[in-house]
Structure 1
Amino acid sequence: MTSEIAPARGLGSSSAAIVAGIELANLLGDLELTADAKIQWASKIEGHPDNVTPAIVGGFVVRAVLDDRVYWKKIPFLDVAMVVCVPEHQLKTIQSRTVLPTNLPFKQAVKVSSLANVLLASLQKGNLITAGKMIESDIFHEPYRAKLIPELNHVRSIGHEEAAYGTYISGAGTAVMTMISREYARNLRERLQIELPRCRTHITHVGGKESVIL
């Protein structure tokens, strides 16, 4: 297998490989799997549905696991650019998890849950300014993982200067993602290429189509 997705960067390389395998099996075995069936299988193999779900159905997807079943819902997402900054150094997910606390104070958990609620509501209403503010207010994992990813604060600072909506760690890192208007995406990329020359920088977007094997 070959893949253009850099491994150990929080970009979903393992999920992409799993989804590709399921798509191939579905095609070659004439299994006629539904999108939901693919998601259930892929989540079991990957161990969680975070990346496999949008890789299968496309677009922006929210999901939850209850009684060993994945529940998911696609919600509309505006036509914005996503500027990806990919550092040279890798970070295995298992290593990234070791810096996370095993417990959170109840009040802190309530706060971050409310932030997530406002984030989803803002995305559904197309209010990317508020959505970006909620993204950058995460207290579940970024405060702990940021020390492993020094590029985060640098990219976020530049993003603020270039009218970005919000910058966050992609998955467990080390890649850093910035949501920004297509109008300003090129300027942001050019600045990142100059100020972070050891990182690879790409402009992409949230695709809305179901995955297919051609």
Structure 2
Amino acid sequence: MAKIIIRVPATSANVGSGMDSIGIAFHLYYTVIVEEATEKWQVNHALGSGIPNDENNLMVQTILKVDPTIHPHQLTVISDVPIAHGLGSSTTAVVAGILIANALGELNLSVADEINLGAKLEGHAENVSAALLGNMTISTFDGEQAKVVNAQMPKVEALFYIRPDGISEVDSRKKLPETIDYQTAVRASSLTNVFVGLVCQGKWDEAVPLVEDDQLHEPYRKDLVPELDVIREKAHELGIYGTYLSGAGPTIATFGEHTKLVELRMALQKLNLNGSLRILTVDQEGATVRGE
């Protein structure tokens, strides 16, 4: 094959109280074209000066962690996934790196192997598993092995409010408490269990309002994203119940029917919020690898 083309979907994590556990893939993509072998790694992209073009690039670092013997190549990245915005931008690079290493090194990794590698690199499995499998994934990771359930979702859409300024996951995690009380833990667990159960039964309309009652991260991060309450209130006025903080923020997602989401987008545009608004559908395929 003269070229290998990798496509990885963006992911939205921490859905409801599914902290570091529930992830959903969306139609927003990080695409990498693996081109000719070179003397040194060269990563061509238009993602800004903060993203390295050489072996220090996260994708290249991932390739070499999976297989240090892989020869350098020229890689061209075309990405619509905003960096540090709670849509899995680092995960797309990590997953692409794993898939490139698997292809160039002829490693014959299984999807389970790829998920475990990604989880070890990221510390949790929900973004990696959702990016690789598509749809919604529910995962747990003990530091060595990830266990993942891939739940088929209906063809739902979400309106994403994407602020121009990002939030680093490190800064966002500093907002989280070291401990929570027992009753809060029980409440969070029950909400997540029922949400997952309803999704697996195909009862999406009953499931989606539960994403608004997060107990584990939204209460501590809300001050970083003041638009969250504004968007949720406006959605409720339109009868839409499905707004949550995506990942570590600052992106906010609202699930709903297309016509309702168009109404919500128009209403939010009138508020002149400092961000972009995009309606995206759930990706049901996951990451792909093809040759040319």
1:51 equivalent in structure 2: 127
- Aligned partner of 1:146 among 222, 225, 236: 222
- C-alpha distance in 2 between matches for 1:204 and 1:10: 15
Give the aligned CA root-mean-square deviation in angstroms: 1.6
Deviations 1:28-48 (A, max 9, x none): 222222111111111111221
- Aligned partner of 1:41 among 108, 117, 123: 117
Structure 1, unpaired ranges of 5+: none
Identity among equivalent positions (%) equals 33
1:91 and 2:149 aligned: no
1:7 and 2:83 aligned: yes
Q: How many residues align?
A: 214
- C-alpha distance in 1 between matches for 2:182 and 2:254: 30
2:243 equivalent in structure 1: 167
1:208 and 2:280 aligned: no
Q: Is the 8 A contact 2:157 2:255 kept in 1?
A: yes
Shift of residue 61, structure 1, vs aligned partner: 0.5
Shift of residue 185, structure 1, vs aligned partner: 2.3
- C-alpha distance in 2 between matches for 1:84 and 1:108: 28
Q: Is the 8 A contact 1:128 1:165 kept in 2?
A: no
1:181 equivalent in structure 2: 257
- C-alpha distance in 2 between matches for 1:128 and 1:153: 23
Shift of residue 196, structure 1, vs aligned partner: 3.7
- C-alpha distance in 2 between matches for 1:12 and 1:167: 18
Q: Is the 8 A contact 1:129 1:165 kept in 2?
A: no
| 1:109 alignment partner, SS class | helix
Higher strand share: 2
Structure 2, unpaired ranges of 5+: 1-44, 46-76
| 1:51 alignment partner, SS class | helix
Measured at CA, do residues 101 and 197 of structure 1 come closer, stay the same or move farther in structure 2, by a change above 3 Å?
closer
Higher helix share: 1
Deviations 1:162-190 (A, max 9, x none): 33231000001000011111232222222
- C-alpha distance in 2 between matches for 1:132 and 1:59: 15
Deviations 1:135-185 (A, max 9, x none): 111111111101111111111112112332310000010000111112322
User: Relative to structure 2, which stretch is displaced further, 119-128 or 14-23?
Assistant: 119-128
- Aligned partner of 1:66 among 131, 142, 160: 142
- C-alpha distance in 2 between matches for 1:19 and 1:194: 38
TM-score normalised to structure 2 length: 0.69
Measured at CA, do residues 191 and 17 of structure 1 come closer, stay the same or move farther in structure 2, by a change above 3 Å?
same
Q: Is the 8 A contact 1:18 1:42 kept in 2?
A: yes
- C-alpha distance in 1 between matches for 2:268 and 2:96: 31
TM-score normalised to structure 1 length: 0.93
| 1:173 alignment partner, SS class | coil
- C-alpha distance in 1 between matches for 2:103 and 2:156: 32
Q: Is the 8 A contact 2:119 2:141 kept in 1?
A: no
Deviations 1:87-109 (A, max 9, x none): 12211111111111111111111
Q: Is the 8 A contact 2:86 2:247 kept in 1?
A: yes
1:123 equivalent in structure 2: 199
Whichever residue aligns with residue 87 of structure 1, its letter is R
Shift of residue 67, structure 1, vs aligned partner: 5.7
